[in-house]
Structure 1
Amino acid sequence: MNISLGSIPSQLTGKMVTPDDRLYPRLRSTYTTVGSPAAIVLPESADDVAAALRFATEAGLKVAVRSGGHGLSGNGTNDGGLVIDLRALNRIEIIDRGSGLVRVEAGARWAHVAEALTPHGLAISSGDHGNVGVGGIATGGGIGWLVRQYGLTVDHVRAVEVVLPNGVVVHADAETEPDLLWVMRGAGAGAGIAIAFEIKAMELSNIGYAQLMAPVDPAGRTLRRWADAIAQAPRELSTAVLLSSRGSTATAFITAVVASDEPSVIREALRPLLGITDVTMRQAQIVPYTELVPWLHLHDNTGQMPTDTTNGLFTGLNSESARALVNVASGPHPAFLQLRSLGGATQDPAPSSMAYSHRHQDILAVASTFPPNGRSTLDAAWKPVTPHVDGAYINFESSQDEAAFTRAYPGATGSRVINLWQRYDPERVLRPKALRRT
């Protein structure tokens, strides 16, 4: 669909990018998906977002919302519709240093947030890349480098400023619009467009950072020892494990982050990892938190990393599940595999307190394939794992169909999410196409 300049609302003049604009190639796509939208709007206020929604509705355009563009589902762009790109809404404000309460707009990137908060001795556990946008994580979950000490990003969201699909701007907190706050913390994409969050940050400036590697046996004993070590470790320790294979031989590359700058605390936190099996410590140091999500990560998103991704949550690992995970990376249909340690503070909130309800699990496994391999290769690699999966995280799922919805929002949680999506977006303006019937 072509959009004429005469049809653009005066409020959005100068804020709309169409295919003949020189900026269009930089704005049309996400990190994983090349799109061809009819236009991209760059709102500078809540009223601009509301005007963009009204324009899309009147013009019959499907809507995609983008904060950072790293979303694996590709829902941050579309073909022939309108993309609402929030990058200009990127302000970060310290509301109350004493309590750690900060206001972060949805279009900020996590590199911006870390840079702004570090001088104040504050941090928010976020994604693992500085170019990731705040809005997607702070409405979907937020499993970051400090997750076992801090919990998920959504666990510390105290209020959200939301533009509803009908254009009404709402401040949702525990006293006003508690249902909207509930759904925005874990399933916000189908309810409204978050434009800003009030988040309680933690006291932190520097962190312990170590990189380790260990051989991985086909039977999965190494992975089970890692899981046992994390279960015994203090909350300060969070880890991410990348499995790399050469044929049937796999190696675990472990990134360990300790939420402390005290050498004694760092040494004690890392101790459980050193007993896994033939672990080699590549480096250990104390660095600013900004080193984990640096400005160097910032880049344009042009569809440069097409991928298919799925994931599963686990409650511990037994011999069968550990062996199945090793085979994802080194079996006949190999896929890229990452493991994240959960537990600790992620298990503090009640499962019913927000739309992200997975509170007893302690491991997240994420599998991805890249061209020329596609979804069929990923499904073949992941199929032996599925009997052991105990839920899923919506932000690490590229195929957001009804089955993925059920894994991410099981039982009563899913029913409540659907009911609230229907209440706040009865015309299903924001709901992903694959979930329009849900």
Structure 2
Amino acid sequence: MVTPKFRRRDGTAVDKATIEAFRHGFQGQVLLPSDAGYSSARRIWNASIDKHPGLISRCSGVVDVVRAVKFARANNLLVAVKSGGHNVAGRALCDDGIVIDLSAMNGVSVDPELRTVRVQAGALLGEVDRETHLHGLAVPSGVVSKTGIAGLTLGGGVGWLVRKYGLTCDNVLSCEVVTAEGAIVTADAETNADLFWGLRGGGGNFGIVTSFLFQAHPVSTVLGGVIVHARPQAAAVFRYYRDFMASAPEELTAYAGLISTPEGMPAVAVMACYCGDLAEGERVLKPLRAFGSPLLDAIQPMPFPVMQRLADEASPDNVHNYWKSTFLNELSDETIDLIVEHGNRAESPLTHVLIQLFNGQVGRVGNADTAFAQRQAGYNVGIEAKWIDPAESEKHTTWARAFSEALKPYSSKAYLLNFLGDEDPDLVRGAFGSNHARLVELKTKYDPTNFFSLNQNVEPRR
């Protein structure tokens, strides 16, 4: 049984009087380990993460965020920032320090005439989709509705509209930010433009974004769903997916993967979303649907928020997760055979392997135009080990690491920031690519003491 302690980075305890002074004037909840609600507040989606903060500050608004930052700075506390808590590495939590929890700050406001959306940082993708869909609009985001908008956006953001409308971070117009000093600033193309550059793909290194202003797009009903084949067809399905997507229109985003059916049978699937004219979408998707002998073809017109929830079942709460990933410059036949071979060795029916194509609108933005540097990266392969019994952790993590090692000869040595499950500095540098040196300078300017360190960290220049 872990006994949580609230202590400073130097190991000294934070006394009750200091805590009570912080509570005074804080409008949200201040949760200590002995308080009701603490246990649920420290739990996140990934059951492998079991951390015990000394204090959780559940902010009700920006004033609370400022107060929490200044309190943490004055008391030399380790700081974790939580929005959706969906990061696989569990960076939303820490041991002994303070968690600045934005989950209650989840307001979404749509301007249908300007097609803009103001979103507080605690909002989940499903909450954004619900409000935008009312106006026939959508913000390009991820593929799991329970994901927090903030972490997704700061790391780039890849989802069903990416080939047509770009990354989530490409659709940010401005940010409200609380800095490491506790100041409230705006970052956009005209104001603090260097910070605005870094927030679009640079992770949580430069401040706490309390709200985003997004550009939305006219997306309401899409043609989407999943096509499932028997696992022995995996290599053939992957090859066809690769060749088919090489000339597919940008209205179509599709991912391929190794999955298991609800009955636990190993399978291979292609999940697709066409965001243009539905009749044209039927024509475009016809060859993909006609390939082979699918076990299931569930492609159909659906409201975009329904499309956004289709992958939720593959990311259940309270399941252990360990992820590895890498970009490949090409999806060669040899690489496909390797992916299938190692994927077939997975021992949990919850585990899946994902192949994501990066092209279209993503590549029309220069690598140096935002902090997201992997715009010509080709294919991302996500190795997502998932299991229920904690006693099996070593078995499943060993499988994922061996799979990742086998892909190294084919890797472009580039990585998708939001898929990083390790703290290896080389992987972080690989994720930031050619922008890393500029990010170091930005970190040195906005956070010279590395106050925000529990992230895919860029260390300031010493």
Same fold (TM over 0.5): yes
Q: 1:420 and 1:178 mapped to 2: Cα distance?
A: 11
| Paired letter, 2:332 | N
Structural mapping, 1:31-430, within 5 Å? 31-32=45-46, 33-95=49-111, 97-215=112-230, 220-244=235-259, 251-260=267-276, 262-274=277-289, 276-294=291-309, 304-331=318-345, 336-370=352-386, 371=390, 372=392, 373-390=395-412, 391-410=414-433, 412-430=434-452
Between the two proteins, the alignment pairs up a number of residues equal to 430
Name which of structure 1's ranges 127-136 and 328-337 shifts more when overlaid on structure 2.
328-337
- How far the C-alpha of 1:377 sits from its partner, in A, is 2.6
Residues 310, 110 of structure 1: CA spacing in aligned structure 2 closer, same or farther, 3 A cutoff?
same
Alpha-carbon contact 2:205-2:458 (below 8 Å) kept: no
Q: 1:428 and 1:197 mapped to 2: Cα distance?
A: 23
- How far the C-alpha of 1:59 sits from its partner, in A, is 2.2
Percent identity, aligned pairs only, is 26
Alpha-carbon contact 2:327-2:377 (below 8 Å) kept: yes
Residues 119, 309 of structure 1: CA spacing in aligned structure 2 closer, same or farther, 3 A cutoff?
same
> Gapped runs of 5+ residues in structure 1?
none
| Paired letter, 1:318 | S
1:232-258 Cα shifts (integer Å, max 9, x gaps): 111111112220379xx9631121111
Q: 1:46 and 1:433 mapped to 2: Cα distance?
A: 21
Name which of structure 1's ranges 181-190 and 376-385 shifts more when overlaid on structure 2.
376-385
Residues 223, 313 of structure 1: CA spacing in aligned structure 2 closer, same or farther, 3 A cutoff?
same
Alpha-carbon contact 2:327-2:416 (below 8 Å) kept: yes
Residues 168, 182 of structure 1: CA spacing in aligned structure 2 closer, same or farther, 3 A cutoff?
same
| Paired letter, 2:176 | E
State the TM-score, normalizing by the size of structure 2. 0.86
> Gapped runs of 5+ residues in structure 2?
7-13
Residues 219, 320 of structure 1: CA spacing in aligned structure 2 closer, same or farther, 3 A cutoff?
farther
Residues 213, 374 of structure 1: CA spacing in aligned structure 2 closer, same or farther, 3 A cutoff?
closer
Q: 1:296 and 1:336 mapped to 2: Cα distance?
A: 12
Residues 221, 361 of structure 1: CA spacing in aligned structure 2 closer, same or farther, 3 A cutoff?
farther
Alpha-carbon contact 1:331-1:381 (below 8 Å) kept: no
Q: 2:456 and 2:274 mapped to 1: Cα distance?
A: 39
State the TM-score, normalizing by the size of structure 1. 0.91
- How far the C-alpha of 1:281 sits from its partner, in A, is 4.9
| Paired letter, 2:175 | V
Q: 2:181 and 2:91 mapped to 1: Cα distance?
A: 20
Alpha-carbon contact 1:238-1:342 (below 8 Å) kept: no
- How far the C-alpha of 1:14 sits from its partner, in A, is 4.8
Three-state SS of the structure 2 residue aligned to 1:187 is coil
Three-state SS of the structure 2 residue aligned to 1:104 is strand
Three-state SS of the structure 2 residue aligned to 1:207 is strand
Residue 431 (structure 1) aligns with: 453
| Paired letter, 2:241 | W
Residues 423, 229 of structure 1: CA spacing in aligned structure 2 closer, same or farther, 3 A cutoff?
same
